[in-house]
Amino acid sequence: MKYLDKTITEIHELLKSKKIKPIDLVEEAYENIEKSDLNAYITLNKEEAIKKAKELENVEVDDNLLFGLPIAVKDNICTKGLLTTCASHMLDNFLPIYNATVVDKINAANMIIIGKTNMDEFAMGSSSRTSYFGAPHNPWNTDKISGGSSGGSASTIAARDVLFALGSDTGGSIRQPASYTGIVGMKPTYGRVSRYGLIAFASSLDQIGPMTKNVYENALLLNVISGHDKMDLTSIKEQDEDYTRLIGKNIKGMKIAIPNFFVSDIVDNEIINKIKKTAKTLEKMGAKVDYIDMKYLNHAVTLYQIIAMGEASSNLARFDGIRYGHSKENPKDIRDLYFGTRAEGFGKEVKRRIMVGSYLLSGKNAREYFYKALSIRDDMKQEFTNVFKKYDYIIGPTTTTTAYLLTDPMDDPRKSFMDDVLVIPVNMAGLPGLNMPIGFDKDHMPIGMQIIANSCEEAKIYQLASALEKELNLDLNPWGGKKDE
Amino acid sequence: MEKKLTKEEVLHVAELARIAVTDEEIKKYQVELKKLLDDVEKINEVEGYDDEILIAPWSNHTDLREDAEGEMLEPKQVLENAPRHSGNYIQVPVVIGESEGA
Amino acid sequence: MSNYIATIGVEVHVELKTKTKIFSNSKNGYGQMANSLTNVIDLGYPGTLPTLNEEVLNLAIKAATVLNCKIRPEIHFDRKNYFYPDNPKNYQITQFATPIGYDGYVEIEVDGEKKKVYIEEMHIEEDTCKSTHRGVKTLLDFNRAGVPLIEIVTKPCMTNSKEAKAYLEKLKELLFYSDISDCKMEEGSMRADANVSIRKKESDPFGTKAEIKNIGSISNVGVSIEKEIERQAKIYDKGETFKPQTRRYDDKLGDTVLMRVKETGNDYRYFPEPDIPFVIVTDERIKNVKKTIPMLPDERREKYLSLGVSEINTTKLIQNRNLSDYFNHLLEEKISHQTASNLLLGDISAYLNKTEKDITDTTLSKERFIELVNLVSNSTLTSKNLKEILEIILESKDSIQSIMKSQGIENITDDKEIREVIQKIISENPESVEDYKNGHDRAIKYLMGQVMKETKGKANPKMANDILKEELQ
């Protein structure tokens, strides 16, 4: 079979001409998932997916290219009646009684939810190893991490199990795993995609975004999931647009900035070299590339630690064993219910962050840390605005290294933040940022590049990314045709 | 010697977070939390910023909702995910004293 | 007990009269089946986000206006973090840094003296769920979770329980009259906390503060403040001190009891709510809201008195919002307003109470009421006759005069006819006529009685009285 290896337009034509049915795609997806065996999913939605696929046989295939296509959804996005665990013992029995707005949109587009993907517990981590259900594996080398927190979504896309997945990105959680696994991942502008139904980690940073194997499919999925939502007050009110509209246009005359911080000694040489080489390629394609100094980038991790942990300590306070989720058996009293439930339900990374976050907001610390971080954050956003007065894009490596081993030590609580040092600034400023693969390291692990543009300029990002994608023409199938042998 | 929080400091933040900690965990947190707290001290190295704060990268002001009733849950749905309930109520161990807030 | 100066501040929570909750569109209702007025937002389900009810903003602006507060043009919300089973998200969305109203005042009158009670700030927030304690368990009903509240905080500017009570009465009157809240303390739609401290002299620093939480009625606010002042004075008199604390009023004991000692002050870990962007309070919105504020009690009082309504009727009318609103439609009419108020507060009120109706449920249109007031003022309709036909008046749409006619209540208004009867009575009662001429006023009442008897009560009393006096000259 292997229909899912074809291009999206080819699959659509097959569906339209009734040569295949959605059920063929669903069955193929489940076969793929089983064969790949990457622990990319926490819950498979087999029964419902098959039912939905059969229902779609009675629906006319319209011009929507995504009609009938399977999609994987990160397990921190609420799906009515389908387990939504956040990869936590706290929610391992949680059946939401409502759908996230993006899930309603996926359903309305007649896409089929294939399952819920593995992730770091409550999206806190950079390798998906904090998952209560064990870490997903990287299809390029199954001994290695697929990154995090959207590690399961990255892993299943990279493995070619399905074409589409949703991730969420608070401090790089879409782009960083996309980089480690050689796929395309977009964190849209803050407010572009409704957060209603996304289980909050840090509300001012969280954003849902598409993860796909190429740029065009990524833009198509963003078309489906974006749009103003009155259930989310932070949702952007811009008119709906077609994010594919600039794909195929050349990039002649585009001005691109590479902050020196992004190619400083915190980044592996091999990666810096690849970025510099790519910059040359872009110049050959007609763009102009400058290396610039940008203030505050080196402080983004500190701001992130304070803001993300502070907000998380409040967002995760609701998990108390009273209305839903894990609850301590036979609590002695209300105190025992709170302390016991949260001690049992949360994993250690989550506990650490909640404790530190509570501390950072307590008493006079709120002024000394939290409000100070918000002040610097404002200036940091201003710094980006200033750069975008002169440049169309900012680019740089997505990660400082390529994917590391699943067995690497996890004892330094700072490690997971440092993994995201290059991707966090984008969340701080609420900007759109995309990762795309630009090559491989000496062990043939993917290297990713991030493209950042000004607010609401996703289409422009796709323009550059697709032009470069075409130019580089990389072979991004990790199995290299071996899996079917 | 490794820098550490005191046991009391760990117990204080655990109290704020409402998370029970064992003696063994306390020992671990004394080191781990200290590392993170040292990290955030770096905020004091930043200079030259103004007082204006950015709460979130909002693109617009709040839209107001019309005061019109929408769909509500059945009491039975409210109880669906609750581990303890009694009649139409969600149940918790008895709470002594009044609410801290409101 | 030596003399101390008390310093009192009051914090009031008022539930707003909206159709839906503050951050979700589920119904804002009271006394319904437990957990029947909620949705996933009220329950604090993971992934849910707040939306903001426009009417809450409008009512808050209205409250700020009637409390003479300044209104902040741009506001945001904050999270107040504390764990409690009645707090679904374990944080409450409130306003900490940018309360919508600030620097206001309310004018009160105590023992004939006017005084301003200053409002420090007033802000918008969400209510918690309701918990009921049953033995070893506590039961939670989330119907109240997310009901909109405003909290109004005074400066510590009151010095005795009378002032605090007068302030609460006045606050209740203002908020109730402007349709902001039901202000029913018994149902919890208005809740009061009092902060009390005492000191020897004005020049001393403030004494240690005790907060008395959630007092159930205005009179209990008075009692609890008095008791608290007494308690603190006794401690100081013994040369002892006490720690800042939270207390509650125990109705059965008739005294305050300790709830908890505040060790280091509460650590609510406030920070700005990232889920709700800035809210702009436009001048236009303020202007439109101001238009919806009805005439407030003080203005009504002044108007009524100037129209000749007695002090007591004025007070009674203002206590009955519906009658007062009805009465307000008549302010420009050339009628006896005292008679109108008598009618409303007397027979009509009795009928409304008996039938559990509202004045607007009756057929008494403004025009028919004016007719009624005039007929009563010129004695065409006696109070005895009115009682007989009131029900018909309030339940049919016919003119009052046609009702009188159909019910056989005639009224002899023919001058000649009455005069003939009077002349007859005068000739039959020479002694009474003599008494009258000798200055015995009582005689005229006797003669009038005879006239009414002769006409079977149908003579227009006012006319008869006038003619009788004429004939006796």
Alpha helix ranges (H) inside A96-229? 101-108, 151-158, 175-181, 215-225
Interface contact flag, A374 C272, Cβ < 8 Å:
yes
Would you kindly state where each structural domain of chain A is located, as residue ranges? 3-253+425-472
Divide the 473 residues of chain C into consecutive groups of 10 and give the mean pLDDT of each group. 87 98 97 97 98 98 98 98 96 98 97 96 97 92 98 97 97 95 93 96 92 93 96 95 92 89 79 98 98 94 96 93 94 95 95 93 94 88 86 92 83 77 87 84 84 80 82 80
Residue of A nearest to B28 (CA): A411
Q: Shortest CA distance to C372 belongs to which of C316, C309, C306, C363?
A: C363
Q: Neighbours of A (≥3 Cβ pairs closer than 8 A)?
A: B, C
Q: Which residues of B touch A372 (CB under 8 A)?
A: 43
CA triple A195-A196-A201, angle to 5 deg: 55
Question: Which one has a higher pLDDT value, A172 or C446?
Answer: A172
Q: Which uninterrupted H or E stretch holds C41? A: none
Interface contact flag, A414 B35, Cβ < 8 Å:
yes
Partner residue facing B94 (CB), from C13, C128, C137: C137
pLDDT per residue as tens digits for the range A454-479: 999 999 999 999 999 999 999 999 98
pLDDT for A485: 38
The CATH number linked to B27 is 1.10.20
Residue of C nearest to A91 (CA): C46
User: Residue C31, SS3?
Assistant: coil
Whether B62 is covered by a domain: the verdict is: no
Q: Which uninterrupted H or E stretch holds A114? A: strand A112-117
Q: Find where tokens 């950079």 sit.
A: A126
Q: Which residues of B touch A317 (CB under 8 A)?
A: 18
pLDDT for B101: 47
Active site residue A249: no
ipTM attached to this prediction: 0.97
Q: For chain C, how many residues are written? A: 473
User: Residue C139, SS3?
Assistant: strand
> E strands along A213-249, which residues?
none
Active site residue A149: yes
Q: Which residues of B touch A332 (CB under 8 A)?
A: 93
pLDDT per residue as tens digits for the range A401-450: 999 999 999 989 999 999 999 999 999 999 999 999 999 999 999 999 99
Q: Does domain A3-253+425-472 have CATH number 1.20.1250.20?
A: no
- Could you give the CA distance from residue C141 to residue A301 in angstroms, rounded to a whole number? 42
pLDDT per residue as tens digits for the range A240-265: 899 999 999 999 999 999 999 999 99
Mean of all residue pLDDT scores within chain A: 96
Would you kindly state where each structural domain of chain C is located, as residue ranges? 5-285, 295-406, 415-472
Q: Which residues of B touch A340 (CB under 8 A)?
A: 20
Interface contact flag, B89 C266, Cβ < 8 Å:
no
Given a cut of 90, whether residue A294 has pLDDT beyond it is yes
Q: Which residues of B touch A356 (CB under 8 A)?
A: 13, 33, 36-37, 40
Q: Which residues of B touch C39 (CB under 8 A)?
A: 70-73
Strands A393-397 and A255-259: parallel
Q: Whole-prediction pTM value?
A: 0.92
Tell me which residue range forms the domain holding B30: 7-43
The C-alpha of A131 sits at a distance from chain C's nearest C-alpha, in angstroms, of: 18
pLDDT confidence bin for B99, thresholds 50/70/90: low
pLDDT for A323: 98
Interface contact flag, A94 C89, Cβ < 8 Å:
no
Q: Is the dihedral of CA C309, C312, C315, C321 positive or negative?
A: negative
- Could you give the CA distance from residue A395 to residue A403 in angstroms, rounded to a whole number? 20
Architecture per CATH, C415-472: Orthogonal Bundle (1.10)
Whole-angstrom CA distances from A47 to A30, A85, A157 are 11, 19, 21
User: Residue A462, SS3?
Assistant: helix
Partner residue facing C140 (CB), from B64, B69, B90: B90
Q: What is the DSSP letter of A112?
A: E
The C-alpha of C29 sits at a distance from chain A's nearest C-alpha, in angstroms, of: 21
Q: For chain A, how many residues are written? A: 485
The C-alpha of C265 sits at a distance from chain A's nearest C-alpha, in angstroms, of: 9
The C-alpha of C243 sits at a distance from chain A's nearest C-alpha, in angstroms, of: 20
Interface contact flag, A190 B40, Cβ < 8 Å:
no
Q: Which residues of C touch B93 (CB under 8 A)?
A: 136-138
Q: Which of A127, A128, A131, A149 is catalytic?
A: A149
Q: Does B61 touch chain A (CB under 8 A)?
A: no
The answer to whether residues C84 and C268 touch, using CB atoms and an 8 Å cutoff, is no
Chain C, window 17-46: residues with a beta carbon less than 8 angstroms from a chain B beta carbon: 18-20, 24-27, 33-40, 43
**Cis, bond preceding A149 (omega within 30 deg of 0):** yes
The answer to whether residues C90 and C46 touch, using CB atoms and an 8 Å cutoff, is no
CA triple C194-C199-C201, angle to 5 deg: 130
What mean pLDDT is predicted for residues A85-104? Answer: 98
> E strands along A119-278, which residues?
137-138, 141-145, 164-168, 184-187, 208-212, 255-259
pLDDT per residue as tens digits for the range A145-171: 999 999 999 999 999 999 999 999 999
State the amino acid at position A5 in one-letter form: D
Interface contact flag, C267 B55, Cβ < 8 Å:
no
| Number of domains chain B contains | 1
pLDDT for C434: 85
Interface contact flag, B43 A303, Cβ < 8 Å:
yes
Interface contact flag, C89 A318, Cβ < 8 Å:
yes
Active site residue A128: no
| Residue of B32, B44, B54 to mutate when probing chain A, most A C-beta within 10 A | B54
